[in-house]
Chain A
Amino acid sequence: MQFLGSRKKWWFIISGLIILPGLLALIFWGLRFGIDFQGGTIYEIKLKTDKTELQSVLAPLNLPDLTITSTNTGSFIIKTIPLSKEKMDEVKATLKTKYGQIEELRQETIGPTVSSDLRRKAILSVIFACLGIILYIAWAFRNIPKPYSSFRFGICAILALIHDLLVVVGSFAIVGHFLNYEVDAYFITALLTVLGFSVHDTIVVFDRIRENLKRFGRASFEETANASLNQTLIRSLNTSLTVLLTLVALFVLGGESIKPFVFALLVGITTGTYSSIFIATPLLVIWENRYNRGKERK
């Protein structure tokens, strides 16, 4: 099957069409951050009431940025800025006078120092992981025959990875708007998992290109790359299929609390497989061709 040649541009257009709605959602709706990245207090309680009534009960307390979400297990999640102990006691007292004994499920407060630190660590760890991978690929692929450069292999793997992260983050802007999925530490974990898988997939394809470059030196880079894609196609599909099987089972049957996490993984691993075939390799072909043609002209 021909994956490259004149078809290359179609893959980029398809990717663009997938990423665009996510980007728009990101710009207009933004992400819904959990309190671990924003700081705040979450108080989850079980009550026999409805959202509007709860809202009016809490209104006199003037809690800033208050949101109340009702879950399908009959509890309510009250979310606001980080509350002091005194303010929290006030909230509890108010609820107690109205409803009597309340069943507390969860109470979390994360101050601004912790949340900004978590945010910084999350961003830095993703950046460092990317740098580490570029360097490793550049080193592991150092023996590929001239004039091809192992650094271009590394950078293309990362570009495909950025493509995947964009798809996942964009999709979260959309589901965040409609389903209240939040960007929290679990989301970062999912993102890192996707990062691992995406690079894993890309390396398998690149490894085949590396081997084939040594074996049939006379074919063009593009032909070699296309042959490599075909040879690794079944493996790529089978591996993704096995992981997706587990994830779909988890998503459909698993507990409510892990759904956003599994959703991010499902989206990320699907796009990770797609990008290793349709983004990383075409990009590499374009880059290696341009660079070497430019050199010949000189």
Chain B
Amino acid sequence: MTKKNLFLFFLILLLAGLAFWVDRPNVKPIDWPKLGISRDLKIHQGLDLKGGVHLVYEGDFSKIPANKYEEAHQALVNTIEKRINKLGVTEPIIQKGRIGDKRTVIIELPGLSDVEQATKMIGQTAQLSFLEMDSTTLQWKETGLTGAHLQRADVQINPETGEPEVAIEFDAQGTKLFKAITERNLQKPVAIKLDEEIISAPIVQTVINEGKGVITGKFDMKEAKALAINLNSGALPVPTKLIQQENISATLGPESIKKSLVAGLLGVLLVALFMILFYKTPGFLATLALFIYALLVLAIFKLIPVTITLAGLAGFILSVGMAVDANILIFERMKEEIKAGKPTLTALNEGFRRAWPSIRDSNFSSLITCFILIWFGSGLVRGFAVTLAIGILVSMFSAITITRTFLKLVVLNKKLERLVRP
């Protein structure tokens, strides 16, 4: 009995120590490639805490065959992702979303304050196509060769003029098309159209076999670079529409967060004070258990990692409430048993045994709610449910294992036993 308790006690200390190691403010990232584990161990703050840009685009899939929806949706996400990576935002989130039967792309760019910059980069079309002259109407017409046939695009400096230009390389199909076009139009002009504008129309001098070409125009270096980037990331596969945009200013957050954190800490201190004054030694032990509880939950948040939002903090505070409640339930039960004349150890065991069904049932019904919300809720509500669910699971462990082990160690010690009796 004592041995098992001591073992549990050291196990708890070990866990608390590990959690503390993860929780340290300057902890180094862990990276164990052999185990496939790599975590930066940072607290990931949500947009409402950190500030940033939140965008939702709706894709128009009406021109895509139904069995290709999934593919096109993924392609849309990938293309947008490529473009966003050019913005140099840390930890951007780009994911597929759905609103009813509509398909969307949800974009979160923490730390960015300029919506314009983001929407411009994402919405840019860079529709490149090659045109030839129709010999009868003398009008430009599409050749079927477009930016979709590009393998890569690079900026280079024209050795003769010293002007920046964009060198392009076609894929296999593009190479064939390009060869046919140059054959057809030998000594005739072929126009390069970018975003509904013809930027140049050079005369074809030779048939080009190797699928390489150059786009010249009156670019400066910056424009040439932007064009190359856009050609490389490709056109968006379907037309998109911006349906939600939020620019959450970080200046709105920090002051409010700081005040709220101080207030939250004060609240927790008051709770600890109340527990100690009302329940004496067991209350003190429960406060210790709650402290370990907080260490564990924070470590789990860092390890998974869970993105912390204001709603997530609310879930955490609620779970602290439930953890305290589990302790109160147990202590009240213990008091009753002691009043009924049972010896301390029996009262302790009975108190835990009898309090368990109500702890279990109340927490399980909360867990059910959490899972429904995780499965069903929108972003904010989901964040709440995730932190609450983690909090509840750890709080059951905390009340049942940590508090009980501490209490038993005290009760089993003849000198300390009287401290637990009311």
Contacts and interface: CB of A to CB of B under 8 A. Distances in A.
Q: Do A and B bind each other?
A: yes
B186 interface: no
Contacts of B266: 249, 253
B100 A250 contact: no
B365 A110 contact: no
A211 interface: yes
B243 A113 contact: yes
A239 interface: yes
A196 B268 CA distance: 20
Interface string A115-134: 00110011011001100110
With most chain A CB atoms within 10 A of its CB, the pick from B258, B329, B336, B365 is: B365
B381 A128 contact: no
B388 A106 contact: no
Interface string A232-252: 101100110111011111101
A259 B303 CA distance: 31
A231 interface: yes
Closest 9 CB pairs of A and B: A255-B256, A246-B267, A207-B358, A249-B267, A253-B263, A111-B243, A254-B260, A108-B246, A243-B321
Interface in B63-113: 99-100, 102
A86 to B, nearest CB: 12
B362 interface: yes
A113 B384 contact: no
A232 B336 CA distance: 11
Interface in A137-183: 137, 140
B197 interface: no
With most chain A CB atoms within 10 A of its CB, the pick from B247, B361, B388 is: B361
A256 interface: yes
Nearest to A75: B252
Given A249-B264, A254-B264, A196 B380 contact: no
29 contacts: A105-B252, A108-B245, A108-B246, A108-B248, A110-B246, A122-B381, A125-B376, A125-B381, A128-B372, A137-B361, A137-B365, A193-B314, A196-B369, A199-B365, A199-B366, A200-B365, A207-B357, A231-B336, A235-B328, A238-B274, A238-B278, A238-B332, A242-B274, A245-B267, A245-B271, A250-B263, A255-B257, A258-B256, A261-B310
A201 B362 CA distance: 8
Contact of B368 (A106, A132, A192, A252): A132
Contacts of B58: 113
A109 B358 contact: no
Given A136-B368, A197-B321, A203-B365, A185 B380 contact: yes
Interface in B246-282: 246-249, 251-252, 255-260, 262-264, 266-268, 270-271, 274-275, 278
A8 interface: no
Given A196-B388, A245-B267, A114 B243 contact: yes
A56 interface: no
Given A125-B373, A132-B369, A185-B380, A140 B257 contact: no
A256 B245 contact: no
With most chain B CB atoms within 10 A of its CB, the pick from A110, A137, A261 is: A110
A90 interface: no
Interface string A205-242: 00110110000000000000000000110110011011
A142 to B, nearest CB: 12
Query: How large, as a class, is the contact surface on chain B?
Result: 35 or more
Interface of B: 56, 58, 99-100, 102, 115, 119, 242-249, 251-252, 255-260, 262-264, 266-268, 270-271, 274-275, 278, 310-311, 314-315, 317-318, 320-322, 324-325, 328-329, 332, 336, 354, 357-358, 361-366, 368-369, 372-373, 376-378, 380-381, 384-385, 388
A256 B363 CA distance: 31
A132 B94 CA distance: 32
A91 interface: no
A113 B99 contact: yes
A195 interface: yes
Contacts of A193: 314-315, 318, 384
A255 B260 contact: yes
Contacts of A235: 325, 328-329, 332
A77 B419 CA distance: 57
Contacts of B378: 117-118, 121-122, 185
A15 B214 CA distance: 79
B380 A129 contact: no
A33 B220 CA distance: 49
Given A140-B364, A258-B260, A185 B318 contact: no
Given A196-B318, A197-B318, A257-B252, A107 B365 contact: no
Nearest to B98: A117
A136 B263 contact: no
Contacts of A250: 260, 263-264, 267
B321 A246 contact: yes
B354 A211 contact: yes
A134 to B, nearest CB: 10
Contacts of B251: 105
A107 B264 CA distance: 28
B366 A196 contact: yes
Contacts of B102: 113
Given A193-B314, A204-B358, A242-B275, A114 B259 contact: no
A108 B380 CA distance: 16
B384 A242 contact: no
Interface in A68-85: 85
Contact of B369 (A124, A190, A195, A246): A195
Given A104-B249, A125-B373, A189 B267 contact: no
With most chain A CB atoms within 10 A of its CB, the pick from B247, B264, B318 is: B318
A246 B99 contact: no
A121 B264 CA distance: 30
